[in-house]
Structure 1
Amino acid sequence: MRMIDLIIKKREGKTLSQEEFTFVANSAAKGTVPDYQLSAFLMACFLNPLSDKETALFTKAMAHSGGRLDFSATKLPKVDKHSTGGVGDGVSIALAPLVACAGVAVPMMSGRGLGHTGGTLDKLESMKNFEVRVPAKLIYRQIQKLGVCMFGQTKDLAPADKKLYSLRDATGTVESRPLIVSSILSKKYAEGVDSLLMDVKYGSGAFMQKLDDSRKLARALVNTAKLLGLKCRALITYMDQPLGRAIGNANEMLQTVLILKGDKTLAPDFYELLMREAVEMLMLSGKFKDAKKARALLEEKINNGEAAAKLREMIKWQGASPDAVDHPQQYFKPAKLKLEYKAEKAGYVAHIDAKTAGMAGVLLGAGRNTMEDTIDYGAGIWLDKKAGDAVKKGDVIATLYASDKKRLEDGIALFKQAVKISAKKPAPYKIVKEVIK
């Protein structure tokens, strides 16, 4: 088989077989064909989009280009969740231990942040010594003993995706929906779970800003996952404004711990999405058929301390101090410099733009513009006010943190552009817009 023949075949809009996709994926993983041919193949796929069936075949080929995790020894149902990324969305860190409390195994593979969207691994690493590069044998052991493990992609999991993802970024083929779907699902399929919940964001802070684009991506993800034999559904969720009150890694960890310990009023939008996603994961796994009963159990696990205890155990298993759960303010400290952004007039907070607020966080040092950038874990923003809150002139809307005076000044100058104050109270917004099954 020759790569040039597959490039031409796809360029002409013809359908490829599993064997042909396997050849492409293995060639990418092993480096046996040059980058220019892989790039040409990606462009051919961009111009002649893969069908749903082809997307499933390509996903399977990429998943099998390396090793796969095998949780067959774990008798519990195995479920994971993937988010397309947003601002303030640290839900996964509360979600994984909470769902595991209900008797479901949650091996959760996560990624790092880039640009204005945060990454789960970066938030976890704001805890000193927390290990996200967990070898497969230790993942198995932790899942068997604890029911939950949060880890990063290993070198052996879907290596073809790593190569092709970097080439997509450099060749103008990132926006191809089938390639997005195959990239996301190849890692999840290689992870060896039974069911998968997708959180597909829409709004200014999302990868897909338009609702219709998010809806199409959600449907493609669900359809392809089902073709791969995974139980899957997607929530389309609001990301035009930041989720919760915290932006930045230590900030978000503090919020997550406080909520998992029972503070339901701290960030109602965050809490509602957490509970909705946890219920959906339990329903998908087959553990529950009744959403109200599932939610009641989850509420009980938070109220009786089991959820926080599970997080404490996971932190200990992965090398950090479980005392971070008991005394979070001591462990998740903000950066040393701070500035308060105050309301310039009375009224209501009408809107806080998610992307602008997220980019302000990057300027403060909380995020990356390139994967090589260093993160300041204490940098970020705490939203003292949210959309719908009444303010008087001089009220603190947000507190910004950084370790560098120039970063702090640049961050607050940009954050100021994110905030809109109106005389009229804005209508409330729904966190979950739609469910795609």
Structure 2
Amino acid sequence: MKLAHAMIGIAEITGRRAIALISDMSQPLGNAVGNAVEVMEACSVLNDTGPYDLTSVCVELSCAMLELGDPSKTGCQVKQSIFRQIDDRKAFAKLMELIRNQGGQFHEDGRIAFKEGGGKNDFYLAERAGYIEKIDAELVGKAALALGAGREKKEDAIDYRAGILFSKKVGDEIKPGEMIALLEAADEKKIELSKKTLDEAITISDTKPKTLIRHILGKITKDSEEINY
């Protein structure tokens, strides 16, 4: 909240209009954490097959941007326009255009050709029955870093294929041996290091936790504040 108000204040000082959205940070947004896996997930959102939480936040952010561009339009009008762009695949076509313009490569069937990397896969499995109570987003980021999806030092190379793909979210019931996530890296040692971090990141409880109905919890502008916890 402090950061949101600070950013709105900076925008006002510089003569800019701004909208701050307060989002849920109790777990990673969407299912993918990494480089290639997140690009593929972005494609799924624009093909209307993406995770509900990620799609919801993307639509609300797009609404805010379009409202800033044309204050005369209502939220409902803007949202309808966004869904039309997804339904007629114009939004997806624009993403493909951006990738081509930046030198991205494609397979003959139209799929994005990602850089070489990864190569080793393994599952992160539930050790006991229960419910996913929490997935610490910061620790998940460190788990992805252990796979090679980011840099610890400036000179480190990034493995663009490395990453995590979750199959369970907060509130989901799990059984012993059931898959919680799929991990990919260049070697098995990195995967084992990542698993140890996920052990700390994921909390399993005996009772089903309360989950949020909304993924956007508030909206702040210069003149108003709406909080929907």
Report the TM-score when normalising by structure 2: 0.89
Q: 1:310 aligns with which of 78, 94, 108?
A: 94
CA root-mean-square deviation: 2.0
Contact 1:388 1:425 in 2 (8 A): yes
| Segments of 4+ moved more than 4 angstroms | 322-325
Distance of 1:254 and 1:285 partners within structure 2? 28
**Cα shift at 1:255:** 0.6
Matches within 5 A, 1:15-414: 215-263=1-49, 266-286=50-70, 289-321=73-105, 326-328=110-112, 331=114, 335-414=118-197
Deviations 1:39-62 (A, max 9, x none): xxxxxxxxxxxxxxxxxxxxxxxx
Distance of 2:81 and 2:90 partners within structure 1? 11
Aligned amino acid, residue 396 of structure 1: M
Contact 1:324 1:331 in 2 (8 A): no
Which protein, 1 or 2, shows the higher relative CO under an 8 Å CA cutoff with sep ≥ 6? Answer: 2
Q: 1:433 aligns with which of 201, 217, 220?
A: 217
Deviations 1:253-285 (A, max 9, x none): 11111111221xx41111110000001111111
Contact 2:132 2:169 in 1 (8 A): yes
**Cα shift at 1:333:** 7.8
**Cα shift at 1:341:** 0.9
Contact 1:348 1:422 in 2 (8 A): yes
Contact 2:117 2:186 in 1 (8 A): no
> Which of the pair has more CA radius of gyration?
1
**Cα shift at 1:236:** 2.1
Deviations 1:370-404 (A, max 9, x none): 33321111111100111111222211000111102
Distance of 2:186 and 2:51 partners within structure 1? 26
- Say which structure is richer in strand: 2
Q: Which moves more between the two structures, 388-397 or 319-328?
A: 319-328
Distance of 1:332 and 1:240 partners within structure 2? 31
Aligned identity (percent) is 35
Distance of 1:383 and 1:324 partners within structure 2? 29
**CA 287–332 in structure 1, closer or farther in 2 if over 3 Å, else same:** farther
Aligned residues between the structures: 220
Aligned amino acid, residue 187 of structure 2: D
Distance of 1:243 and 1:333 partners within structure 2? 25
**Cα shift at 1:304:** 0.9
- Say which structure is richer in helix: 1
Contact 1:238 1:433 in 2 (8 A): yes
**Cα shift at 1:323:** 5.5
**Cα shift at 1:223:** 1.4
Gapped regions of structure 2 (runs ≥ 5) = 222-229
Contact 1:235 1:433 in 2 (8 A): yes
Report the TM-score when normalising by structure 1: 0.48
Contact 1:312 1:323 in 2 (8 A): no
Contact 2:114 2:161 in 1 (8 A): no
